[in-house]
Chain A
Amino acid sequence: MAVAVRADAGYGRSFPIPGEDFEVAAEISLEDAFRGTQVALNLAVPVYDEQGRVRREGRAFEARIPKGATNGQRLRLRGQGGKGHNGGRDGDLYLNISLHRHPLYRVDGHDLYIDLPLAPWEAALGATVEVPTLAGPVNLKVAPGTSSGQHLRLAKRGLPRPGDAGNEGDLFAIASIATPPTLTERETALFTELSENSTFLPRKHFNEEISHAN
């Protein structure tokens, strides 16, 4: 996983001296957000010498990101920042979480979106199709007469939210009708027969809208 490097001082140096708060960007995969993960962090933290002069020193440590993370989410880990002095509290660690771009899923909060290409006959007649989810493939029933752009909801198949189970986001499969790039002779014959017998007018509303506008 990738780690951005930034440490930042949130407090002045009075007695008792609280530890520094550290703020770090952590980029994790969608799968890691789904399961929870341990991240390795590298920080340039301020270190003071006896004369009170500050210098930056590299420090590596690990932090646990539990299930519940999503893009742009922030997490505070109490006491995991710099050490406090003279009775001052230890600083906190702030993680700014972002997710790697995923080849299949797009993320909105804890909801996920996936494109669902359907053959014309699957969209017209209905079908049961296998959809990959972060927890494994599931069967999705596509209703007859499904059009491109329709959102088919797979409840609680998105990212888990912080807290108790049962509070997961949803996965939305967005139907898009895909036509075969090339047709066999038989397919051409069947589509031709369909076109000659179908009464479906997909652009019927064009004329209706124009006549309303006039």
Chain B
Amino acid sequence: MQTNNAGLLWLDDAHQVSIHELIEHSGLNTDDIYELVDSGVLHPINVADTPWTFSAACVVTVRRATRLRNELELDPHALALALSLMDQIRALESELSILRAQRVTYR
């Protein structure tokens, strides 16, 4: 885990967490994590090795998964679908943000 002395972790692709941390901070279990990997929602950095490590951005995904499962009682398939749709929305928002940033604002 990459944190500083204050226990600070940026939840982005430049930082990594172990599978144990994903479990600890989401309330999901190992099987849940495997299921999210199988359904393409989570992508381990070292897919061929064990134990898996993930981008720290996955902490946000697994916490969202926990909330969707607990509050909406989604089954694993519905959960994977909802998370992948949310990912697509985020990717489109990010693309939109890039285009907006690069657009000249004529005065």
Contacts and interface: CB of A to CB of B under 8 A. Distances in A.
Interface in A57-109: 64, 66, 68, 71-80, 92, 94, 106-108
Contacts of A79: 7
A156 to B, nearest CB: 16
Given A10-B63, A11-B27, A74 B101 contact: no
A74 B25 contact: no
A161 B67 contact: no
A169 to B, nearest CB: 11
Contact of B10 (A73, A108, A148, A151): A73
Contacts of A106: 100-102
A163 interface: yes
Interface string A148-172: 1101000000000111000000001
B66 A174 contact: no
Nearest to B67: A8
B68 to A, nearest CB: 13
Interface residues of A, number: 39
B65 to A, nearest CB: 12
A10 B59 CA distance: 12
Given A10-B66, A107-B101, A78 B7 contact: yes
Interface stretch (A110-118, A136-144, A193-201): A110-118
Contact of B60 (A74, A80, A172): A74
Contact of B97 (A12, A71, A77): A71
A10 B105 contact: no
B88 to A, nearest CB: 15
Contacts of B57: 74
A162 B8 CA distance: 11
Interface residues of B, number: 30
Contacts of A115: 104-105, 107
Interface in B54-80: 57, 59-60, 63, 66-67
Contact of B104 (A68, A80, A112, A149): A149
A78 B59 CA distance: 13
B3 A111 contact: no
Contacts of B48: none
A176 interface: yes
A197 B59 CA distance: 64
A21 B27 CA distance: 11
Interface string B80-94: 000000000000001
Given A10-B66, A11-B27, A78-B3, A148 B104 contact: yes
B11 interface: yes
B12 A66 contact: no
Contacts of A66: 4, 8
Interface in B1-27: 3-4, 6-12, 14-15, 25-27
13 contacts: A8-B67, A10-B66, A11-B27, A64-B6, A75-B9, A76-B8, A92-B25, A106-B100, A108-B97, A108-B102, A113-B102, A161-B14, A162-B14
